Amino acid sequence: MATLATPPALTRADFEPVIGLEVHVQLLTATKIFCSCANQFGSAPNSNVCPVCLGMPGSLPVLNRKAVEFAALAAMALNCRVNETSIFARKNYFYPDLPKGYQISQYDKPLAEHGWIDVACSPNNATGGDANGTKRIGITRLHMEEDAGKSLHDGFADSASKTAIDLNRTGTPLVEIVSEPDLRSGDEAYEYLTRLREIILYTGVSDGNMEEGSLRCDANVSVRPRGQEKLGTKAEIKNVNSFRFVREAIAYEIERQIELILGGGTVVQETRLYNSAEGRTYSMRSKEQAHDYRYFPEPDLLPLVVDTKWQAEIRSRLPELPEARRARMVAEYGITEQDAGVLTASRTLADQFESAAKAAKNPKRVANLVQGELMGRLKAAGLEIEQSPVSMAGVAMSADLVEEGKISGKQLKELYDICFAGVAQSENGARGEDFAAVYEREKPQQLSDSVAIEKIVDEVITASPKQVEQYRAGKTTMMAYFVGQVMKATKGQANPAMVNEVVGRKLG
Amino acid sequence: MSQPNPTSQPGTSLFSIDGIRTAIAARETTATAIAEQHFSQIAKSDGEVGAFLALSRERALAQAARVDALAAHGDLDLTTMPLAGVPVGVKDVLMTKGLPTTAGSRILEGFAAPYDATVVTRLEAAGAVILGKCNCDEFAMGSSNENSGYKPVRNPRDLTRVPGGSSGGSAAAVAAGMAVATLGSDTGGSIRQPASFCGVVGMMATYGRVSRYGLIAFASSLDHVGPLTNSVKDAAQVLQVIAGRDAMDATSADVPVPDYVADMQKPVRGLRVGIPKEYFGEGLEPETRALVEAAIEKLRALGCQVQPVSLPHTEYAVPTYYIVATAEASSNLARFDAVRYGHRAKGAKSLSEMYRRSRDEGFGPEVKRRIMLGTYALSAGYYDAYYLKAQKVRTLLARDFELAFAEVDAIVTPTCPAPAFKLGEKTDDPLAMYLADIYTVTADLVGIPGISVPCGETSEGLPVGVQILGKHFDEGTVLRLGAAVE
């Protein structure tokens, strides 16, 4: 009689992590979702409030049309199908910063469903990437809801014994974007969040600012033996406040669950919090302590109808999205995909770049200039692209001057330094100067006298016999050395095109 | 005590809204004098009736003075101020800025509303003088007004009996001549049933016709605000003022409001009136039946075509109502959490203790019972069997009426199965109390308009009301038949 072989013990590599993300995004409407209070971050506590958002007896919600349009625009940008009819529902639970004792949300009929985002990965990777290095992450749903207020536990006189409540945030319009459990690692989650945030920023419906809480993320993490269809028991990691921490928290949680199972334990369904200082997750509440939210349709609001006509109106406001824009910019300006990636990091940056690229003779040079000369200086000065002292007309002008050989790269750098002079230290609004004004004033002298240049080239060649030998032995890259020496000797003022020509001729 | 204020005696010129406003406009009397007369009547009678929880003397006299100043200058225009100088009471579930607003509950003891309900704003803009806040069952939950967190209301027609509920104070105030009109709220019959018990008119318009903004919610999909008055015409005039779209209430309907008084005055000849057999079965007290049948005969005599109709799902209305209403209430009453306003228990050591003890101390037993029922009905695993099923039955009830209204213009029934009962008679039996709403809850569930009009007295001298139900947004026909019965 044959004995049954004991199945080989599982190892870490036999487990597959499964991750789904829930992202909350605050919408940048002028007023709150159900009342006309200002939707504004940073006001004095409890100043943007009224009977409706305070949950006063008898008050009723009235839906903000703009919030619907923003939510639908985000949904369309995420390739979701917007439902013609969706239903608001009450999510009931007690919390001091939830004035009505329920949150108005959407439950079984959300605003939008069935969307996706393509994220970059290594081609044909083990977690479902295609040959082009793209993986499609499904979006289950996008629904609308109101934000709650804030409980403040410290920072005031009697905070040891009391909690203060600020209800300014109550009623801020939110969309919750729920992904399919398609993610397989913290890195993929990071990539998904980056793309998601980028798309949301392009639509302009949110500032996506994680520090101010306008973008928040919860992660559902489970592991299962490879090949098993059924999902493992999940843990929900709540409110992690940066994409980097989401990646770390997920990586930690995957390890924790695998270790637990390998050690003979079982994962319990629970809510966990990530402690970024310690780099680990902690149990917050178990399934038994979980709320029964007793969802039911909100009787104070009619079903939300976004009909075909309204959807078309909203869709017409959909901007070109980052992925499409990158592809077009590569084709239109002949820049690299990497350049396009950097230059589309925000819609404003891309807009600014394109305005300069269109005005200049060589868009590729503009791309290099913006990345190489402008962005670093802006960062050092703490400025956004739209605050740049060098306007896009200035960028185009400077690119053309270099292109035509009228100034050297070194001179351009010096001129940009003058444009930015004092801006970094400025607290009282020193704006710097635009390129055209600085150029007109400084008019850097370029050495274009061929006799003088030939003389300097001869001196450099005489002083560098070893390098000449190397060059003549076939090391043509030595060319750059000679050009560099000439530029150094002329303090960067020699016309680079002429220097190249003369050096080549003399050595050849 | 059943001697009403002389100024409100039927037959005198100052009994009706028309009488009062025209006398003030003609400067035969003043709004201030009318208000003072009613405050005197309240001082005299309300000790034993208990219809008011708070008086708003200062606000009332300031409003009366404004009306009087207009009249003195000949600037009082009754088309823009159709309720000029009319003394009214407002059920305590309506928010009145700066005035105590408790919903009859201890949990809101000492709470002053920070804003006015839309209906309150509209009443005052029309010149009405608000005398005070009318007593009611706590959060409008009850059929006898014995659930008030402060004091019961007694029926002015027989002080040993209840005035009905939950708008018991509103009905009693009109019946006792302490106000010419009052506002009540109706979630399962809370305007029509007390109107019937106290011998006054109570009108509930179509759901969505009158703004709920500022009405402390009991069950949002069932709550209605409406008038209680001495006559159908007065009810039409008050409804005219409070009806119409309000941007603050998303469920308020954008449907033009007709001229109710003009509609009311049309003849009833030729109207088809349906009599549902389900409302005349077991449990209907014989004298009540006889009086309601006499009212139907009167309509027939006036040329109405009276015909039987069937509303086959009627028997499911009360259980359906108590699921939907309690479910919504369990959520609506969550905001009374002692965090921002209302009663807060002393010495709580933790947040959950603060919640539990504050709500335990602040809510009365009927409110707690309904919060628990409603919480249960919405709980995971029970939602489909209770709340969802109740909503389906609600659709069947609506279908019943749709089919009936294909054949008739209105439906006539008793308002209540029996006249006013004694105080304490049903307090130990919630189910018996719930059955007092058996003929009224369906209209709330379906959202159609209904009125209760007095149709006589029993041998004991207790008033009985007849109920007329109409099609959605057809208050005109309801008022017209009501005036005919009257």
Q: Determine the pLDDT at residue A489.
A: 82
Tell me the C-alpha distance between B338 and B320, whole Å. Answer: 31
List phi, psi (to 5°) of B117.
-60, 150
Cβ-contact A133, A78 below 8 angstroms? no
> Which residues of B fall within a CB distance of 8 Å from A57?
95, 101, 103, 108, 111, 113, 216-217, 335-336
CB contact under 8 A, B94 and A62: no
For residue B387, which residues of chain A lie inside 8 Å, CB to CB? 296
Digit-coded pLDDT (tens) for B414-427: 999 999 999 999 88
Token pair 């008739």 is at which residue? Answer: B408
pLDDT of A138: 97
Fold of B17-264: Amidase signature (AS) enzymes (3.90.1300)
Q: Do A294 and B378 touch (CB under 8 A)?
A: yes
Q: For chain B, what are the domain ranges?
A: 17-264
Write the residue in B117, B220, B380 that is nearest to A300 by C-beta: B220
Q: Cβ separation of B331 and A300 shorter than 8 Å?
A: no
Inter-chain touch B379–A292, beta carbons under 8 Å:
yes
Q: In the prediction, which pLDDT does B7 show?
A: 42
Mean per-residue pLDDT for B316-337? 97
Examine residue B166 and say whether the peptide bond preceding it is cis (omega within 30 degrees of 0). yes
Query: B220 and A299 in contact by Cβ < 8 A?
Result: yes
Residue A428 is predicted with a pLDDT of 52
A397: three-class secondary structure by DSSP: helix
- Residue A302 and residue B383: Cβ atoms within 8 Å? no
Provide φ and ψ at A144, rounded to 5°.
-95, 150
Please answer yes or no on whether A58 and B217 come within 8 Å at the CB atom.
Answer: yes
Chain B residues whose CB is inside 8 A of the A56 CB are 95, 113-115, 341
Handedness of CA B117, B121, B127, B131 (dihedral sign): positive
Residue B6 has pLDDT above 60, yes or no: no
pLDDT for residue B12 is more than 80: no
Domains of chain A: 17-308 (no CATH), 322-442 (no CATH), 450-507 (1.10.10.410)
What's the rounded Cα separation, in Å, for the pair B166 and A342? 67
Average pLDDT over residues B214-241: 98
Mean pLDDT confidence for B26-51:
97
Q: Give the model's pLDDT for residue B3.
A: 42
d(CA B129, CA B34): 10
> In chain B, which residue's Cα lies nearest the Cα of A296?
B378
Percentage, residues of chain B above pLDDT 90: 93
Q: Concatenate the DSSP letters of all residues of A169-231 into one string.
A: STT-EEEEEEE-S-B-SHHHHHHHHHHHHHHHHHHTS----TTTTSEEEEEEEEEEETT--SP
- The DSSP result for A105-167, as a single string, is EE-SS-SEEEEEEEEE--TT-TTS--TTSEEEEEEEEEEEEE---EEE-SSSTTTTT--EEE-
What integer is the mean pLDDT of B261-267? 97
| Entry pTM | 0.89
The answer, yes or no, to whether residue B11 has pLDDT greater than 50, is no
Chain A nearest-CA distance from B224, in A, is 12
- What residues in A contact B94, CB-CB < 8 Å? 58
Q: For residue B334, give how far its alpha carbon lies from the nearest alpha carbon of chain A (Å).
A: 5
Per-residue pLDDT of chain A (508 residues; tens, 9 = 90+): 455 666 667 788 889 999 999 999 999 999 999 999 999 988 999 999 999 999 999 999 999 999 999 999 999 999 999 999 999 999 999 999 999 999 999 999 999 999 999 998 877 777 777 877 889 999 999 999 999 999 988 878 888 888 899 999 999 999 999 999 999 999 999 999 999 999 999 999 999 998 888 999 999 999 999 888 999 999 999 878 899 999 999 999 999 999 999 988 899 999 999 988 888 888 887 766 678 999 999 999 999 999 999 999 999 999 999 999 999 999 999 999 999 999 998 888 999 999 999 998 899 999 998 998 888 888 888 888 888 888 899 888 888 888 887 888 888 888 888 888 867 555 555 578 888 888 888 777 777 777 888 888 888 888 888 888 888 888 888 888 888 888 888 877 787 778 888 888 888 7
pLDDT at B369 over 70: yes
Looking at residue A430, what is its pLDDT?
Answer: 57
Question: Measured between CA atoms, how close is B53 to chain A, in angstroms?
Answer: 18
The answer, yes or no, to whether residue B4 has pLDDT greater than 50, is no
Q: Do the Cβ atoms of B375 and A294 come within 8 Å? A: yes
Pick from B103, B250, B375: CB nearest A302: B250
- Single-letter amino acid code for the residue at A107: Y
Angle at B436 between CA B432 and CA B438, to 5 degrees: 110
Helix or strand (DSSP H, E) at B274: strand B272-276
**3-state secondary structure at position B184:** strand
Given this model, what pLDDT does residue A3 score? 57
Using CA coordinates, name the residue in chain A closest to B379.
A294
CB proximity list for A242: less than 8 A, separation 6 or greater? A210, A276
Query: Best residue in A59, A63, A100, A302 to probe B by mutation, most B CBs within 10 Å?
Result: A59
Closest CA to A148 of A211, A206, A208, A102: A102
Catalytic residue ranges of B:
91, 166, 190
